[in-house]
Amino acid sequence: MKKINTMMKCVVAGGCFLVNFMSAQVGINTSSPQAVLHIDGTKDNPATGIPTAAQVANDVVFTANGEVGIGLLTPAVKIDARSTNNTDNSIGIGETTQTASEAASGAMRYNPLNGGKMQYSDGVVWQDLISSPTKAVVVANLRVASFAVKVPYQVSTGIAGWTEISDPTSNFTPGTGIFTAPRTGVYLVSFTYDFVRIPIVSGYFSEARYVVNGSTVVKKCVKSFSNTSKNAQVAGSCVAGIQLNKGDTFQPHIYQSVFNGSLSLRTDITPASNEYGFVNLSIVEQ
């Protein structure tokens, strides 16, 4: 399908002149091309209008800016294959016998030697392509007034209201205590807590719980008490590596079966206080 628009412009003083403004769009397997050249791989686009993302997933477009979109209509770079509906968005890069200077700066190649690796040319030599993203490293503690944070009896409670000390990737929300994984991988989490002093009865316990995506408990660290009728501060810690997928959320929880009521965490706002620094959290991407 080819669409060509022609306009005639009349100049009053000198008569009419034919001026061609040609805006051509060529469609292959589609009667409604959305770019200068639009190829519909499986002929599933509508006869008119803009196709859906699922219909575009098998399309290729060439834009007026000289950009190529594979599986999407609006490429942001010269070759863009970032379709939201495809699971095969990888781009194959092969081997070459060219020297780095022959290929020129910015060229890329696959080198099969020593297990295989990607390389780019700096114009002189082929350099190994090494990715070193900034890892997520969260350090936070609870700096709030004494008795401000309470954990109800036998209710898994997410701990919020943190003071953030470190978070270079901005993946932790201190107000909610929720961490969002920037990448799929293993994250080492350390969580410590301490309650105010209360009488402890034999058989009571508390748990640090690691909760993913709001409801899935992936780790429990239990602190139980065997002594009877002893005044003490219930405390616990939990260090564990947890597997998170990109976009998963994580929050530390506490479950207490120690006091039949709301039990306060041991906190304060000033470092000089004896109640300061007992509730801490760290998350380190491995």
The secondary structure of 111-152 as a DSSP string is E-GGG-EEEEE-SSSEEE----PPPPEEEEE----TT-SEE-
Instruction: Tell whether the model's pLDDT for residue 231 goes beyond 80.
Output: no
Q: Looking at the structure, do residues 170 and 234 belong to the same domain, yes or no? A: yes
Q: Are residues 70 and 100 in the same domain?
A: no
CB 234 within 8 A of CB 262: no
Q: Are residues 150 and 196 in the same domain?
A: yes
In a domain, 87, yes or no: no
pLDDT at 98 exceeding the cut of 90: yes
Q: What is the distance between the terminal CA atoms of the chain, rounded to a whole angstrom?
A: 53
User: Quick one: average pLDDT of 156-182?
Assistant: 97
Average pLDDT over residues 66-75: 97
Q: Give SS3 for 102.
A: helix
Question: What confidence tens digit (pLDDT) does each residue in 49-68 have?
Answer: 999 999 999 999 999 999 99
What b/e sequence results for 39-60 when a residue is b if at least 16 CB atoms lie within 10 Å of its CB, and e otherwise? bbbeebbeeeeebeeebbbbbb
Look at residues 137, 133, 140, 174 and name the one whose alpha carbon lies nearest to residue 283.
137
Q: Per the domain annotation, does 85 fall within a domain? A: no
Same domain? For 68 and 181 the reply is no
Report yes or no: 149 and 159 within 8 Å, Cβ to Cβ.
yes
pLDDT recorded at residue 10: 39
Type of residue numbered 155: V
Within this chain, do residues 161 and 266 fall inside the same structural domain, yes or no?
Answer: yes
15 confidence band (pLDDT: 50, 70, 90): very low
In this structure, how many other beta carbons lie within 10 angstroms of the beta carbon of residue 138? 24
Cα-Cα-Cα-Cα dihedral sign, residues 170, 173, 177, 180:
negative
Q: Is the pLDDT of residue 16 over 60?
A: no
Checking if the pLDDT of 17 tops 60, the result is no
Asked whether residue 6 carries a pLDDT value surpassing 60, the answer given is no
Q: Is 182 domain-assigned?
A: yes
Q: Is the pLDDT at 198 greater than 90, yes or no?
A: no
Distance CA 274, CA 26 (A): 75
Tell me the pLDDT band of 23, cut-offs 50, 70 and 90: low
Provide the 3-class DSSP secondary structure of residue 104.
coil
Residue range 121-149, pLDDT digits in tens: 999 999 999 888 899 999 999 999 999 99
Which band of pLDDT confidence, cut at 50, 70 and 90, is reported for residue 190? very high
The proportion of the chain whose per-residue pLDDT surpasses 70, expressed as a percent, equals: 89
Structure tokens at 82: 């970032």
215 plus 109 within the same structural domain: no
Q: Are residues 277 and 167 in the same domain?
A: yes
Strands 79-80 and 68-70, how do they pair? parallel
Beta bridge partners of 199: 231
Provide the residue range defining the domain that includes 52.
Answer: 2-80
User: In terms of Cα–Cα distance, which of 41, 35, 36 is closest to 57?
Assistant: 41
- Total length of the chain: 286
Q: What is the Cα–Cα distance from 23 to 6, expressed in whole angstroms?
A: 8
Tell me, yes or no, whether 198 and 237 share the same domain. Answer: yes
Q: What is the mean pLDDT of residues 39-46?
A: 96
Spatial distance between the Cα atoms of 257 and 213, rounded to a whole number of angstroms: 24
In the chain, % of residues over pLDDT 90: 79
pLDDT surpassing 50 at residue 215: yes
Q: Is 228 inside any structural domain? A: yes
φ and ψ at residue 156, rounded to 5 degrees? -70, 115
Of 7-21, 190-204, 252-266, which range is least confident? Answer: 7-21
One domain for residues 25 and 160 = no
The predicted structure's pLDDT at residue 133? 85
d(CA 251, CA 269): 22
Structure tokens at 229: 């009728």
pLDDT band with cut points at 50, 70 and 90 for residue 226: low
Clarify whether residues 269 and 158 are in a common domain: yes
> Within this chain, do residues 57 and 155 fall inside the same structural domain, yes or no?
no
Cα 121 to Cα 140: distance, rounded to the nearest angstrom: 42
Q: Is residue 86 part of a domain?
A: no
- 167 & 40 share domain: no
Number of independent structural domains in the chain: 3
Determine the average pLDDT of the residues in 62-77: 97
What is the band of 208 on the pLDDT scale with cuts at 50, 70, 90? very high
Q: Which two tokens stand for residue 124?
A: 């002189």
